[in-house]
Amino acid sequence: MKYSVILVAGGQGTRMGLGYNKVFYPLGEGQTVLDKALGLYINDARCAQIIIVTNPNDLQRTALEYEAGRIVNVSGSKSRQDSVFSALMAVTEENVLIHDAARPYTPHSVIKNVVDALESESAAVPVIPVHYTIKETSDGYIDGTIDRSILRHAQSPQGFRTELFLRCLHKARLERFEAEDDAHVVETFSDQKIKIVDGSFDNIKITTLDDIR
């Protein structure tokens, strides 16, 4: 099974105090965050297409550095959701993975779990257990404790049949619905069950400088 992957790379790096897109932050050995995220897919024989979607200010840089072969560059929008929609217009495969470029440490096993699931499922999301106690609160007081055994942290890449995700995202745009993540769009605008697969605690999303390894 072949798939396209969308690397969402429009981050501003505000919380890292960089003043530039955090995907260009150097991780060492001459690699940026985006280089490392791209490397997760470049040698995967099942990956037929890699789409990098970034903000318009960085499009020229990514196009000059990365546009070759299976790699396509797309200009994003103000919101992540609209950026993903723009990237979907360039997808050529029946299955698509959506991967936050700020997750450059994703183990290959996680990507494999998602892609393998798409052999028989229409949507798949990697998840990890919630280890901390979760409280419901209001007005400065605890209302109750949520059973964390039924809770999971969702990660990316999240995988979908391209037609399913595009149809749901189109409905979300029409209704001006802002989803919490990509799977939330499918949850809201279809009856499609979403398969969960094993994620990894190593699959962190770079948000602050403390997340850099």
pLDDT digits (tens, 9 = 90+) for 73-112: 999 988 999 999 999 999 999 999 999 999 999 999 999 9
pLDDT > 70: percent of the chain: 96
Q: What is the mean pLDDT of residues 159-184?
A: 97
pLDDT tens, residue by residue, 3-32: 999 999 987 666 676 778 899 999 887 899
Q: What confidence tier does 52 reach under pLDDT thresholds 50, 70, 90?
A: very high
CA distance 165 to 163: 6
Q: Give the contacts of 10 (CB within 8 A, at least 6 positions apart).
A: 21, 53, 54, 55, 58, 76, 80, 83
Q: Residue 87's pLDDT is what?
A: 96
Read off φ and ψ for residue 68, nearest 5 degrees: -170, 145
- Look at residue 13 in the predicted model and tell me its pLDDT: 62
Residue 212: its pLDDT value, please? 75
The CA distance from 3 to 185, in Å, is 20
Beta pairing partners, 52: 7, 73
Kindly report the number of other CB atoms within 10 A of residue 67's CB atom.
11
Please answer whether residues 22 and 206 qualify as being in contact, where contact means their C-beta atoms are separated by less than 8 angstroms: yes
Predicted pLDDT at 207 = 85
Domains of the chain: 3-207 (3.90.550.10)
Q: Report the C-alpha gap between 36 and 173 in whole angstroms.
A: 31
